Amino acid sequence: MLGSVRSKAFRAGELLSYTVGAILTGFFMVQLAQGEVERRGGIAEFERMARNDAELPVGLYSGAHPARDTHSDPMRSPSQITPESFDWGEPDMSLWAPGRIDDYKASLSAELPPLLGVLEIPSVGLKVPVYSTSTDLTMDRGAGVIDGMAYPHEEGNIGISGHRDGYFRVLKDIQLGDQVVLQTLDGTKRFTIGMTQVVEIDDTRLLRDTREQTLTLVTCYPFYFVGHAPQRFVVTASLD
């Protein structure tokens, strides 16, 4: 009889452990889903506002320096940014590789992930849409947020990558102290470039999260390397 009691107690304890584990797992999944819903909700609200507001002036993709572009307005509200606003022309491809130009044209008919903002570096004439992920497709069309790093409307280290033979080839001409304008879901943010560095392909130290808001731009290096580039060119900018 004593063995039977112990067996029942063991089974009861085992059942209790399973129940507690299931409850904790369910709680974790609910919290995870809630966080994802909130993030997607913010993106959806951004795009809803975009559809209800005026479109950006023609010339966003022109690649012209703002001093020579009468349509340029770095204070433009991010609620006016919409994917349709980028459909009227092509970027300045004078520095682009022929293959990258073909990839860009092919991307025009592809379905893209959410648009999170616009990145602009006036000193080199860069103005590029920023998408929610950094796949080859999104970087053919613009630039993308590096997986695991902060989105443009979030705190922390905002990581954005682009192709070295496309939009981000102009990064070869940037200087310390150059200004970066980032239109986001929360408004316009301004950064100052404080460091550029060439790192090995597996060196991710500069991608770590930061206490203060930081903008990190990443592209392959050397800029004119034939084949798979062995290094990365990293630009670090601090919030003004």
Say what the pLDDT of residue 71 is.
Answer: 28
Domain 53-239 carries which CATH code?
2.40.260.10
Compute the C-alpha angle 233/238/199, nearest 5°: 20
pLDDT of 145 > 70? The answer is: yes
**Is pLDDT at 72 greater than 70 in this prediction?**
no
* Residue 207, token pair as written in the block: 């991608």
Nearest-angstrom CA–CA distance, 104 and 133: 16
Predicted model pTM: 0.66
| Cross-strand bridge partners of residue 215 | 158, 237
**Other Cβ atoms within 10 Å of 133 Cβ, number:** 15
Of residues 174, 169, 176, the one with CA closest to residue 223: 169
- CB-count burial class (<10 Å; 0-12, 13-18, 19+) for 175: exposed
Instruction: Name the pairing type of β-strands 126-131 and 143-145.
Output: parallel
The dihedral over CA atoms of 167, 171, 177, 182, expressed in degrees to the nearest 10, equals 20
pLDDT of amino acid 141: 94
Q: Is residue 162 classed as helix, strand or coil in its secondary structure?
A: coil
Q: Residue 126 in contact with residue 170, Cβ under 8 Å?
A: yes
Angstrom CA distances, 100 to 35, 65, 104, 110, stand at 36, 22, 6, 15
Integer Cα distance of 77 and 80 in angstroms:
6
CA distance 222 to 5: 73
Q: Domain residue spans in the chain? A: 53-239
Active site residues: 163, 220
Compute the average pLDDT of residues 30-51: 45
Cis bond leading into 113, ω under 30°? no
The average confidence (pLDDT) of the chain is: 76
Instruction: Calculate the alpha carbon distances from 97 to 102, 123, 164, 223, 231 in Å.
Output: 9, 22, 9, 10, 18
pLDDT of residue 185: 80
pLDDT of residue 184: 87
Q: What percent of the chain has pLDDT over 90?
A: 55
Q: Give the mean pLDDT of 45-69.
A: 34
Q: Give the pLDDT score at 51.
A: 45
| pLDDT at position 85 over 60 | no
Residue 186 binned pLDDT confidence (cut-offs 50, 70, 90): confident
**Residue 193 and residue 157: Cα distance in Å, rounded?**
14
Residue 78's pLDDT band (cuts 50, 70, 90): very low
